Amino acid sequence: LGIYEECEIARNTLAGVWVKNRANPFFRRCHIHHGRDVGVFTFEHGMGYFEKCNIHGNRISGIEVKNQANPTVVRCEIHHGQTGGIYVHEKGRGQFMENRIYGNAFAGIWITSQSDPTVRKNEIFNGQQGGVYIFGEGRGLIEQNNIYHNNLAGIQIRTGSDPIVRLNKIHSGLHGGIYVVRRYLCLYFHC
């Protein structure tokens, strides 16, 4: 549903971009910033392809994915969100690859409520909380990421979550590398 290149989307009351009902727009090199809500909101089976976008300074997260939405986000800068960088919940999916996710007030990526995204080859750093926070029965493949200089754990897993975590480089954080609360079903390979 359209190609959007080099657009500036800023200071909106609601989300800067809404994608739902299997819509699949293509955004390249767009600047999505300083919204009073999320920068990009994909929900109700929305898709979308976001490449080389600069998403920052939004009041909630830079990108929110919920209700079986499945966007692809590649080589974007997602930073300085007033809460988190990427929030995947309520059975959200998505592929997040080769992004730089940094300087967010909460976790770089939150995964919860039976969501199952693929998080691969991202640089996740300088978060005021953790790098990747998986809770509330979150899942996901967390693979080949460089996670560093976060104020809390590089990856934190709790409350019945079941991710696959492999081949990540987790270093230079102010807390532990991987923090698992209680006994859950995580698989770790060469973290």
Show me where the domains of the chain are located: 3-189
Interval 91-150: pLDDT, tens: 999 999 999 999 999 999 999 999 999 999 999 999 999 999 999 999 999 999 999 999
Q: Which fold has domain 3-189?
A: Pectate Lyase C-like (2.160.20)
Neighbours of 22 (CB within 10 A): 12
Span between the terminal Cα atoms of the chain, in Å? 39
Q: Select from 51, 56, 64, 79 the least CA-distant residue to 15.
A: 64
CA 16, CA 34: separation in Å to the nearest integer? 9
Interval 45-100: pLDDT, tens: 999 999 999 999 999 999 999 999 999 999 999 999 999 999 999 999 999 999 99
Specify the higher pLDDT residue, 23 or 159: 23
pLDDT for 1 equals 76
Q: Select from 89, 81, 84 the least CA-distant residue to 117.
A: 89
- For 5-26, what is the mean pLDDT? 98
Reported pTM:
0.94
CA 131, CA 31: separation in Å to the nearest integer? 23
Distance from CA of residue 15 to its chain's centroid?
16
